[in-house]
Amino acid sequence: MAAPPSAYKDRQLIAVIGDEDSVTGLLLAGVGHVTDPPDSQRNFLVVDSKTDKSQVAEAFDRFTKDRKDIGIVLINQHIADIIRDHVDSFQDAFPAVLEIPSKDHPYDPEKDSVLRRYCADPKDYILDIDYVDLSPNPPKPGDKLTIKAYGTFAKDIEPGATVFLQVKYGLITLIKQEADLCDNIGRIDLTCPLKEGPLLFTREVDIPNQVPPGKYTVHADVNTVDKEEVTCLETTPAAASPLTTVDTSGLQPTYKTYKSPYGPKTTQLPNVKGFTLTNAIRYGGIAAGFGVAAGVFAVYFFGEVPRVRKDILQKVPVVGDYWVREVAPEDNPF
């Protein structure tokens, strides 16, 4: 019996939800319909101050759930924040969802940092984190990453403090462990007790040449021996780096292609066996390739960069030059 056609073979269009500049530039680059012919569906939504939240949500749901010809949904970051519940709850393999900066809302590493999202209001935390700096930012596979963090302890952290760290790759748990903070903190050249007052932490780590791209969800919770909250951070990296590029060479333009300064840059995304293009595009330059947040937390608390289990690579589909390669039914989890 012949294998059924690929579920993603016909997804060759990009949909755009963005402000006027973003939509216009992307459409002129050949991404979508500039006009609205009777026999076609519009695959963009221009959002301005008069656009209701329900309209944005409806367009997002239509592009991600109803349309079977959409391969990628581009949405401005500040617009994604309006319907954050919809964006974060969408976990399907296709279409890919990529949050992008806009001219009026450029990428802001302070606002969009994946490293400073607290589990709750941090006003009662013992550790007040002032900043976390990465160099280079974004990190590059195969290079050294320098991590600098500065914070202030409101009181001494005595022996007996614990750290709970959980790192997930999609739905797969990579790390889930609780450890004694003082037993492990020597790996990063610190000793207990951690004294009240300011602390500057600097660490260099080697980023592996290849780490599966995808969604890394991190939860790190530190408590004193008396169960007081030192700090708690959690994050799902989803912001796009200003260096994020999208490969449009394998897509079929639905209108004549023009050169545009606002159009997406193109680059070849190589086919790497076991990597999903969906996840690589969806989480952009920050999360795709090296799980910055996962690495920072793991290094900070355990002195090592997490390695993804090899069996994970057997649980994701293989993609070709774009996503046109057929996948045998027994190998396709979707």
- If asked whether residues 247 and 100 sit together in one domain, one would say yes
Asked if residue 295 is part of any domain, the answer here is no
Q: Rounded CA gap, 73 and 94, in Å?
A: 9
- If asked whether residues 38 and 85 sit together in one domain, one would say yes
Those residues of the chain that have pLDDT short of 50 are 1-6, 29-39, 109-116, 237-334
Task: Check residue 261 and give its pLDDT.
Answer: 36
Q: Rounded CA gap, 101 and 112, in Å?
A: 11
Question: pLDDT for 214-271, tens place per residue?
Answer: 566 777 888 999 999 988 877 654 333 333 333 333 333 332 222 333 333 333 333 3
- If asked whether residues 231 and 114 sit together in one domain, one would say yes
Q: Could you give the angle at the alpha carbon of 199 between the alpha carbons of 193 and 202, nearest 5°?
A: 110
Task: Check residue 250 and give its pLDDT.
Answer: 36
Domains in the chain, number: 2
Task: Check residue 171 and give its pLDDT.
Answer: 62
Asked if residue 54 is part of any domain, the answer here is yes
Which residues form the domain of 246?
13-106+239-282+309-331
Burial 82-119 (b: 16+ CB within 10 A, else e): bbeebbeeeeebbbbbbbbbbeebebebeebbbbbeee
- If asked whether residues 53 and 161 sit together in one domain, one would say no
Q: Which amino acid is at 184?
A: N
Question: pLDDT for 269-281, tens place per residue?
Answer: 333 333 333 333 3
Asked if residue 230 is part of any domain, the answer here is yes
Q: Distances in Å between the alpha carbon of 243 and those of 138, 139, 302?
A: 8, 11, 30
Asked if residue 220 is part of any domain, the answer here is yes
- Structure tokens given for 124: 């009662």
User: Looking at the whole model, is its pTM more than 0.85?
Assistant: no
- If asked whether residues 125 and 137 sit together in one domain, one would say yes
At 70, which CATH number? Answer: 3.40.50.10580
Average pLDDT for the chain: 62
- If asked whether residues 243 and 102 sit together in one domain, one would say yes
Asked if residue 298 is part of any domain, the answer here is no
- Percent of the chain past pLDDT 90, that is, above it, reads 6
Burial 150-170 (b: 16+ CB within 10 A, else e): ebebeeebeeebbbebbbbbb
